[in-house]
Structure 1
Amino acid sequence: MKKITNKIHLVLGLGSGLVVFIVAITGCLWVFREEIKAVTQEELIIENSNDDFLSITEAEKIAHTVYPDKLIHGILYDDTSEPIEAIFYQTEPLFYSSVFIHPTQGTILKTENHLTGFFAFVLDGHIHLWLPEAIGTQIVKWSTVLFLLLVISGIYLWWPRNKKNKKQRFKFDWKSTTKWKRKNFDLHSIFGFYVSIFALIFILTGLIMAFPIVNKAVYRAMGGQKEATFLIPDGSKRDSTDTPKSIDQLLQKLQKEY
């Protein structure tokens, strides 16, 4: 049985290895994009001030001078040493940009198009492998399934047959006479076992995003009662009680409390 599993393990590694490698590298770059930007891009230097923040309605009006016909998805506030970021996002037609505003003076510091540039390229590779969406998405989805089978088969092959081999499965037990072939096998199997714990978590989260049926199953297993849905609020419509004054008062309250 282990010989058959070993062959399957090798084939699965060849089939999914390159895709998983690309997804892993681009995923790491995407996760650390803010840290990378801090090193590679010019920092917006704003002197800390005791002046009052711009209100939400003021920031909204200023941002709309740049993109008057676009929808604001959200406005991010930090402290007075950081710019206010007005995020524009809509799906049809796709538009995703940010306007950075001086938090007290109201001057526009810069704009950023999130659909172009290095990190847009990275994200496209992570999700679509730089292929047409209909093709790339399917390759990534099913390569994730193959990678799951690869990890499971690897754990099965790693599992010690007897107590004598158990010690060698958890740590290196090399001698001066240990040959390179054995060392290479130990490096793969021992590191592979410890990495597989994290790999299964990455795979599960990837499958949740890729397959609605997995998303639904995990959601229900975690205690969810209703259907799992993802909605982008329609910012073009506001509740009758959601006046500019009430929104600005909410910001003031949040700033006092936090």
Structure 2
Amino acid sequence: MGLSTGLIVFLISITGAIYVFQEEITHYLRMDAIYHYEENIASKKPLSVKVLEQKVDVFTNEKYPIHWVTIPIDKSRSYIFYYYYERNPDGWNFYDEYLVYKSVYVNPFTGEIRGVYDETTDFFNIIKSIHFSFMLNTEWGTYVCGIPTLIFLFMLISGIILWWPKNKKASKQRFAFRWENVKSWKRKNYDLHNILGFYVSSLAFVVAFTGLFYAFFFIQAILYFVFSGGSTTYPDFSHIQTQAPIEMRNEHTLDKIAQQVEALYPDAFQYSLDLGYDHLDDHKHPNYDVFVKQLSYSYHVNHSLIFDENSGSYCTNIRTKTKILAKKPLPPITTYILVLFLVFGAKF
């Protein structure tokens, strides 16, 4: 069991390590699409989101609707329109599950299409799918990765229990190699496993435990309970809903929302606007939520804004109302785990 579990965990680990470099490499390979090189943009105004959407639809001739657009604060960068979430529930693997997963880079000032990418064939999306679900249907593929990782976690804990020295004399052989009089390769291999295993165990535990967050709800509940100071009730914002009549919605409503987001967070990196169409996966939102990514290199600083979908009026900022970690100081071990989680988990 240890060998088979170790092999699976190794594949999960190596794909995760490769995916860490996704943003930098993709930025290099898609540079001509990411930047539109439009001149004198300070004196120009971007086209309406709806106008750009129409140009994208005409260019791609895609039968599925666009899901969302990612808008950078830096207007020297292209807008990215995504065809995504058209998921086939009967598909058993990555390619069968996603009927469409494309990104379209657009010059926001002219509507010029800078690049169209089929994300199902992108190297890093394949790597991410292996990391999360071994390229199986995500509804159950996450358990294929999650269960071996859970077994690995129990093996890690049991290994530490077996490693724990029974007395002071035994502890001398647990932290450093003492091979002056040791010639047997079996003994040396045993010491390598014991000593190196101890030094990497804390990091391995944090990486494995936080990775399980994406596979099992009970891990999510544990982390939420710890970092919320003992709360067992999740914040509920479903009561904040669109109040304005649908007649108030027009082709400039998304532009109105975009202007408010950029006024609230002028130093952010980018934000995403859902275009509001029905999709095959029947995902529903109780309100219109705009996700703002503050930093270019990480997701751990972000904001979530709620707007009235019809009038475009700003309702509230979810993040500023749910900073539960700031209510009281955390114990040192919790702070330590949180920092490691943010460092190693931010990329995923």
Would you call these one fold, judging by a TM-score over 0.5? yes
Residue in structure 2 matched with residue 7 of structure 1 by the alignment? none
Match of 2:104 among 85, 96, 99: 99
> What amino acid is the match of 2:21?
F
Uncovered stretches (5+) of structure 1, i.e. residues with no partner: 1-10, 232-236
Amino acid at match of 1:149: F
Taking a change above 3 Å as real, the CA distance of residues 33 and 76 of structure 1, as seen in their structure-2 partners, is same
What is the match of residue 117 of structure 1? 122
Q: What is the distance in 1 between the residues matched to 2:114 and 2:144?
A: 40
Distance, in Å, in 1 between the alignment partners of 2:193 and 2:146 is 25
1:73 to 2:83 alignment: no
| Candidates 60, 66, 83, aligned match of 1:88 | 83
| Aligned counterpart in structure 2 of residue 187 of structure 1, from 192, 198, 202 | 192
Letter in 2 for 1:181: K
Query: Is the counterpart of residue 168 in structure 1 residue 173 in structure 2?
Result: yes
CA-to-partner distance for each residue in 1:16-51, whole Å, 9 max, x for gaps?
A: 111111111111222221223345x35316548541
Q: Which runs of 5+ in 2 are unaligned?
A: 59-63, 89-97, 239-243, 269-348
Is this contact kept in 2: 1:83–1:102, CA < 8 A?
yes
Give the distance between the partners of 2:260 and 2:107, measured in 1 at CA.
20
Query: For this pair of structures, how many residues does the alignment match?
Result: 241
The question of 1:200 aligning with 2:205 is answered: yes
Structure-2 residue corresponding to 1:6: none
Query: SS at the partner of 1:168?
Result: coil
Amino acid at match of 1:87: Y
Q: 2:233 aligns with which of 223, 226, 236?
A: 226
Letter in 1 for 2:10: F
- Give % identity: 32
Q: How many Å separate the matches in 1 of 2:245 and 2:9?
A: 43
Q: 2:24 matched to which residue of 1?
A: 35
Q: CA deviation at 1:64?
A: 3.6
> Deviation of residue 109 (structure 1)?
0.7
Judged with a 3 Å threshold, the aligned counterparts in structure 2 of structure 1 residues 33 and 91 are, in CA distance, closer, same or farther, namely: same
Contact 1:74 1:86 in 2 (8 A): yes
Distance 2:181 2:26 in 1: 47
Could you tell me which of 255, 263, 266 is aligned with 1:253?
263
Distance 1:255 1:50 in 2: 23
| Structure (1/2) with the larger helix percentage | 1
Give the distance between the partners of 1:247 and 1:35, measured in 2 at CA. 30
- Cα RMSD (Å) of the superposition? 3.6
Per-residue displacement from partner, 1:185-233 (whole Å, max 9, x unpaired)? 232222211221112112222322212233223323322453378x9xx
Q: Matches of 2:156 and 2:265 in 1, distance apart?
A: 47
- Does residue 17 (structure 1) correspond to residue 24 (structure 2)? The answer is no
State the one-letter code of the partner of 2:172: K
Distance 1:180 1:257, change over 3 A: closer
Q: Does 1:140 align with 2:158?
A: no
Cα distance change of structure 1 residues 151 and 252 upon mapping to structure 2, 3 Å threshold: closer
Q: Secondary structure of the residue that 1:152 maps to in structure 2?
A: helix
CA distance in 2, matches of 1:82, 1:196: 42
Higher strand share: 2
Q: Partners in 2 of 1:213 and 1:114 — Cα distance? A: 31
CA distance in 2, matches of 1:212, 1:42: 36
CA contact (8 A) 1:96 1:114 kept: yes
